[in-house]
Amino acid sequence: MSKQRDRSRGILGLIDDDEDVSGAPSPADKADASTRALKHMPSGSIKTLESTLTRAEREAEELRRLVASGAQVIELDVSLVQPSPHADRMEDDSAEAFDTLKASIAENGQQVPILVRPHPTDPDRYEAAYGHRRLRAAADLGLTVRAVVKPLTDEQLVLAQGIENSARQDLSWIEQAVFALKLGERGFPQRAIAAALSIQRQNANQMISAARKIPADIIHAIGRAPKVGRPRWLELADRLANGVSPSVRSVLSAPAFSSLPSDERFEALLMAATPDTEVSRPAHVPRLSAATLSLPGGRTVGSFVRGAKAATLKLEDVDFGTWLAERVPALHAEFSAQTGAPTWNPESASVSGTSVGNTPEE
């Protein structure tokens, strides 16, 4: 906890008390306010805040240099600031990090300004280089946003985003790949793309190639997949290079698919894209990537998606889900008798929880 408090004080001290920032709280007030917020914050939220603090340190250092060189911190109406045209982040599966940031700004104010440039075609507007989540938080809270305005070319704007990328530990591999592809399609040279992502040109080429092979709708359906790295994404890209199989489309269209976490959505699609001859699984386990569960009369009762490590069953009938959950031990015993799979210990086999029914939404 003390390490987090020291880091918070360090960040807050990076922006000098400047005459141009009228009405801003003193560094001591900022540190005390941040310490109080951290003291009452749950441990899970503090862990979530870790990457935000690391990123803010890097951005604040750059902004301090700008202020020292004469740049002014000003208050802007959020409606006048547009996001960077070169988006590098997919929407988070969880809003926890953003909610933590918004709560901090609501209680303590916006401690670190964002960096914006004058809009290239509209003299009355601006474009954000970095600080997009702070901008969105200010908009949600009905606040103005504190910003440093600096003229930037398109390439300089991308490089400024690179400052945020290199400090942000949670930018997933596929987010970087899609960002690299978008920059390439907009005509940015490879050296600028590599610099913006702080990677070698060879790695940038590899990312662009993978992002081209995987259809955009599939990348969007999977999401950030933060635990999936380069080798697995390259494998999926190779599997889809010659087209998307019906089994992959079947998984995508299954209602249960969207309920899976992002990493498991990736695994389910990779399994669907992998030929039967290359899938390693026990002989008694059938190959079933996705299915809609229907009654003889045609009524749909749910859907099923099988990934590499887990399967998800989503039921539309809550009462049927409750009935099924209560009979899981008996059903598993029947499954074991038919297939020879290991059986549960009858004394320990049970279904527990505060509620049973439909698979909860992620």
Question: What is the predicted pLDDT for the residue at 309?
Answer: 61
Question: What is the predicted pLDDT for the residue at 75?
Answer: 95
CATH number of 21's domain? 3.90.1530.10
Q: How far apart are CA 124 and CA 328, in angstroms?
A: 63
Is this structure's pTM higher than 0.85? no
In a shared domain, residues 27 and 143: yes
In a shared domain, residues 325 and 230: no
Q: How far apart are CA 62 and CA 348, in angstroms?
A: 58
Question: What is the predicted pLDDT for the residue at 63?
Answer: 62
Q: How far apart are CA 331 and CA 259, in angstroms?
A: 24
Domain boundary at 212, 247, 282, which?
247
In a domain, 277, yes or no: no
In a shared domain, residues 13 and 126: yes
Q: How confident is the model at residue 170 (pLDDT cuts 50, 70, 90)?
A: low
In a domain, 255, yes or no: no
Question: What is the predicted pLDDT for the residue at 173?
Answer: 94
Q: How confident is the model at residue 103 (pLDDT cuts 50, 70, 90)?
A: very high
Q: What is the mean pLDDT of residues 165-194?
A: 84
Q: How confident is the model at residue 41 (pLDDT cuts 50, 70, 90)?
A: very low
The pLDDT tens digits of the residues spanning 193-233 come to 998 888 999 999 999 999 999 999 999 999 999 999 999 99
In a shared domain, residues 126 and 230: yes
In a shared domain, residues 24 and 113: yes
In a shared domain, residues 205 and 120: yes
In a domain, 312, yes or no: no
In a domain, 286, yes or no: no
In a domain, 310, yes or no: no
Pick the range with the lowest mean pLDDT from 58-72, 219-233, 241-255, 343-357. 343-357
In a shared domain, residues 355 and 220: no
The per-residue DSSP string of 16-58 comes to ---TTSTTPPPHHHHHHHHHHHHHTS-HHHHHHHHHHHHHHHH
Average pLDDT, the chain: 73
Domain enclosing residue 330, as ranges: 321-362
Q: Angle between the 246-253 and 262-273 helix axes, to the nearest 10 degrees? A: 150
- The number of distinct structural domains making up the chain is 2
In a domain, 290, yes or no: no
> Quick one: what percent of the chain has pLDDT higher than 90?
31
Q: What is the mean pLDDT of residues 47-66?
A: 56
More confident residue, 306 or 159: 159
Q: How confident is the model at residue 122 (pLDDT cuts 50, 70, 90)?
A: very high
The β-bridge partners of 315 are: 302
In a shared domain, residues 355 and 213: no
In a shared domain, residues 210 and 330: no
In a shared domain, residues 231 and 356: no
In a domain, 282, yes or no: no
Separation of first and last alpha carbons in the chain: 29
Domain boundary at 225, 247, 269, which?
247
Is the predicted pLDDT of residue 44 greater than 80, yes or no?
A: no
In a shared domain, residues 240 and 332: no
In a shared domain, residues 237 and 326: no
Domain boundary at 186, 218, 247, which?
247
Under DSSP, the state recorded for 9 is H
Is the predicted pLDDT of residue 132 greater than 50, yes or no?
A: yes
